[in-house]
Amino acid sequence: MEGVENIRQIETTLDRLIDSIVLKLPSIAIGFIILFLGRYFIRFAINMINRRFDRRNVSPSIRTFITSLLKFVLYTLLILTVANTMGIQTTSFIAILSAFGLAVGMALQGSLSNFAGGVLILVFKPFEVGDYISAANGSSGTVGKIDLLYTTMTDDDGVTVFSPNGPLANSVIKNYTKITKRRFTHSFTASYDTDMKTARAAILDLLKNEGAVLETPAPTMEIGELTDGGLKLQIRGWTERPDYWATYYATAEKIKTILNESKIMMPQASIKVLSDAVNPENLPDNNTDKPQ
């Protein structure tokens, strides 16, 4: 009798399962249709966005970020829609997903800050690959790659620098590649006896004959400060950005030659010692300690 009862219970359970499947079969079919059409729509949308990116010459970094983020969001919405259509409860799944996202966000606060900084850099473009930049956080060099978390640069010593995007995006950035011309400055201290007219004429004539120095704005030589050690002179001129360092070093060497030829004296460091020991009367008697 027990065996017969078990068989009847199994049959009843199977009948209920079959009835449930039959009742939900339309919903399941509709869910698969939505899944198929949704995948097609997502592929179509991504391809359309990529074509627009091609027309507008969007950088690969921005393109990869936007398409990856869009795929994640669209596929998540598609899965939730299909599950809800098939009668699967998604409330618990959404709650678990939210809790997981909160936990990950708290654990990766620094990385999320770098991620947000990378998005800002890619969107607002304060610099691009190939630019030479200097940031207030101490990073400087030629930008080689911009990722979502780090920006890779090569500094003046040829060392590869990985700068976090969070601090980089929140600091003052000087982009030397965006400008067309740069000003160079040479500073030195001259004696108060220096003939300023002669010195200015000689140095400005040198700069005017230097091919890489621009005529406009015109080069200048002024007294920047009056110090105890002498006149602090400042020589300024403008040059094209690619010629900056070559012009800076060339003019520095030629200015040194002009200073020697014009006999412009530099103040020499000196120490004046005042002592009463120079008076013979104040010198100690070396014979006082000798036995008589």
Per-residue pLDDT of the chain (292 residues; tens, 9 = 90+): 556 666 777 777 776 766 666 667 778 788 888 889 999 999 999 899 888 888 877 777 677 777 877 888 888 888 888 888 877 776 766 776 677 666 656 655 567 788 888 888 888 889 988 999 999 878 889 999 888 788 999 998 999 999 998 889 888 999 999 889 999 999 988 888 888 888 889 999 999 988 899 999 999 999 988 888 888 999 999 999 999 999 999 999 999 988 888 777 777 666 666 665 555 565 566 555 555 4
Distance CA 249, CA 284 (A): 57
> What does residue 140 show for φ and ψ, rounded to 5 degrees?
-155, 150
Q: Which of 160, 175, 190 is the last residue of a domain?
A: 175
Residues 213, 171 share a domain = no
With respect to residue 192, please indicate whether it lies within any of the assigned structural domains. Answer: yes
Residue 122 belongs to a domain: no
Radius of gyration of the chain (CA): 39
Residue 232 lies in a domain: yes
Q: What is the DSSP string of 62-113?
A: HHHHHHHHHHHHHHHHHHHHHHHHTT---HHHHHHHHHHHHHHHHHTHHHHH
152/229 same-domain check: no
Entry pTM: 0.56
* Torsion sign across C-alpha atoms 69, 73, 76, 78: negative
Domain boundary among 107, 136, 152: 107
Query: Do 170 and 194 belong to one domain?
Result: no
Total domain count, the chain: 3
Domain of 9, CATH number, reads: 1.10.287.1260
